Amino acid sequence: MDHYEELAHGFFEEMRQYRGFMPRQDDVSALMRGEMAVLRLLDDEQRRVSAGDLSRLLEMTTSRVAAVLNSLEKKGLIERSADTADRRRVLVAMTKSGAALCAHRKACARRRLAAIFERLGQEDTDQFIRLIRRIAQISESLGACAPESGKQGKGGCL
């Protein structure tokens, strides 16, 4: 393993132990794997989204999406309806309760991140944000990772 691969390994280990900056809360721990991702996507889209599009956009199997949607519907966080243009398509939208949960989570995340940035200080926060932007640009220039293609760079996995 070369030096940069060791650094990448160390980064993944730190991120695995860190597990995000949102603390466990009762409303969150009751959510199953994938539910918050669906709610965030619906919140971002601000429109009804088909179950098939959720599967594609979240890179989840259709059976996984169906299980997540069943659970979210039982909790009153989403509602499903048939597409009026194509009755075979199921459209998904957030309920007021789902939107409230997303708003609450966003507010918690913003407050926690603001507290982290306050402890980091202005200079370190500015440098962190600059580096995150640079990482995003470099990652975008490398393209998608498709290990089965055996290619490097664009369309491949370095």
Q: Which residues contact 57 (CB under 8 A, 6 or more apart)?
A: 41, 49
For the chain, give the mean pLDDT: 84
Q: What is the pLDDT along the chain (158 residues), one digit of tens a residue?
A: 688 888 888 888 887 776 665 555 554 445 677 899 999 999 998 889 999 999 999 999 999 999 999 999 999 999 999 988 888 888 999 999 999 999 999 899 899 899 999 999 999 999 999 999 999 999 889 887 665 554 444 445 55
Q: How far apart are CA 6 and CA 10, in angstroms?
A: 6
pTM: 0.71
Q: Which residues contact 83 (CB under 8 A, 6 or more apart)?
A: 50, 89, 90, 91
CA 45 to chain centre: 13
Tens of pLDDT, residues 79-99: 999 988 888 888 999 999 999
Q: Which residues contact 128 (CB under 8 A, 6 or more apart)?
A: 120
Instruction: Give the pLDDT score at 99.
Output: 95
The answer for 48, left when phi > 0, alpha when psi is -120 to 50, beta otherwise, is beta
